[in-house]
Structure 1
Amino acid sequence: MPEYRRAYLPGGTFFLTLVTYQRYPIFSNIENISHLRSALAKVRSEMPFEIEGAVVLPDHIHFLWTLPTEDKNYSQRIGRLKVLFTRSLGSKTILPENLSNSRRKHRESNVWQRRFWEHTIRDEADFEKHLNYIHYNPVKHGLVSCPHLWDYSSFHKFVRKGIYSSNWYCSCSGERIQIPDFDKILEKAGE
């Protein structure tokens, strides 16, 4: 079995990817996005951190989180988020039924993939590349034609702050746009 090693940097900023079990589109249901927001708020109240950027797609989530100065434990926060969200679903939510023997043995649910992907942000340029990746992700996956058309993203917050223009990588006017090169990020994004 491979040995996974994560980088833990106190006060660091981390790009994170969480994927649903068998890529089931749990977040196609708007109510589940509300459950996710509630779970995230609870985790932040228990273990503070800043959400620098985020996007929620039907079967996965990307975050940029910055931890407090002396704190490096993003894994604990992700574990808690997964548990709280899973508990919030109740029995009404339809999920994949084909659990493996391994998942049954470890009493794992059919909501999340076991692992998650992380990347420690190195500098401002690295932060910007990952933030752009997050905001372009709904377009990359063919869910919308332009970033501003996706509601479940921090993109709109960055437009209000004047960091992005509302037509950032927008093709609404029929213009052909140059697609950003995210090849290096794809290697570590878990997609």
Structure 2
Amino acid sequence: MTYHNALTGRISIPLQIYHITICTHQRTPLFRQLRTGRMVVQELKYIQDYKYADSLAWVIMPDHLHWLMQLNETASLSSVLKRFKGRTTSVVNRHLQRTGALWQKGFNEHALRKEEDIKQIARYIVANPLRANLVSKVGDYPLWDAIWL
């Protein structure tokens, strides 16, 4: 069943692979601390463990997240992102003893077409720390993963 969100105009297709980008509120670099970034990792794991979506690749940058994921058969993209953003906001705010928005409103998504090279997109995602000059080797950056390891 395809889901359509009338408010955003987004269409959510079961088993579709999406490249998602979510930025922190006001692009605040809240994930410079490894511990805070690991809290986001735990929530990505939660989404996977409860079968809302499968994570194919992701990287948590200081002020945003890139996530290559495949929806399950019953979840909508908006519902998965709402759950993820709500859970991460709760745990990160509690840890940092802060209140308010953790993420910017909405998110950017790109539904992959069949002809697109999924592994190439995954490589692009995990290489973000290199392009941002945060590390000289991808393996030196602690907040990324891909199923093709």
Which interval holds the TM-score relative to the shorter structure? Answer: 0.7 to 0.9
1:83 aligns with 2:82: no
Note the residue ranges of structure 2 that are not aligned, 5 or more in a row: 1-6
1:57 aligns with 2:85: no
**1:25-174 mapped onto 2 (5 Å cutoff):** 25-68=29-72, 70-71=73-74, 73-91=76-94, 93=96, 109-123=100-114, 125-154=116-145, 158=148, 161=149
User: What is the one-letter code of the residue matched to 2:68?
Assistant: L
Residue by residue over 1:8-61, the C-alpha shift from the partner in whole angstroms, topping out at 9 and shown as x without a partner, is: 222111100111011111111112122212222333344432110011111111
Distance 1:129 1:53, change over 3 A: same
Distance 1:47 1:128, change over 3 A: closer
Task: Report what 2:3 is aligned to.
Answer: none
User: What is the one-letter code of the residue matched to 2:108?
Assistant: W
TM-score w.r.t. the length of structure 1 is 0.65
User: What is the one-letter code of the residue matched to 1:128?
Assistant: K
Distance 1:117 1:31, change over 3 A: same
Query: 8 Å contact 1:36–1:85 — kept in the other structure?
Result: yes
Aligned mates of 2:94, 2:52 — CA distance in 1: 30
Instruction: Report how many residues are paired.
Output: 143
Query: 8 Å contact 2:31–2:63 — kept in the other structure?
Result: yes
Report which of the two structures shows the higher radius of gyration computed on alpha carbons: 1
Runs of 4+ residues over 4 Å off in structure 1: none
Query: 8 Å contact 2:21–2:108 — kept in the other structure?
Result: yes
Aligned mates of 1:49, 1:91 — CA distance in 2: 25
User: Partner of 1:88: helix, strand, or coil?
Assistant: helix
Measure how far apart 1:128 and its partner are: 2.8
User: What is the one-letter code of the residue matched to 1:65?
Assistant: M
Q: Give the structure with the larger strand fraction.
A: 2
TM-score w.r.t. the length of structure 2 is 0.82
Aligned mates of 2:140, 2:38 — CA distance in 1: 19
User: Partner of 2:10: helix, strand, or coil?
Assistant: coil
Note the residue ranges of structure 1 that are not aligned, 5 or more in a row: 98-108, 162-191
Measure how far apart 1:132 and its partner are: 1.9
Residue by residue over 1:78-110, the C-alpha shift from the partner in whole angstroms, topping out at 9 and shown as x without a partner, is: 111111111112455166x9xxxxxxxxxxx33
Distance 1:31 1:9, change over 3 A: same
Aligned mates of 1:110, 1:72 — CA distance in 2: 24
Give the fraction of aligned pairs with identical amino acids, expressed as a percent: 25
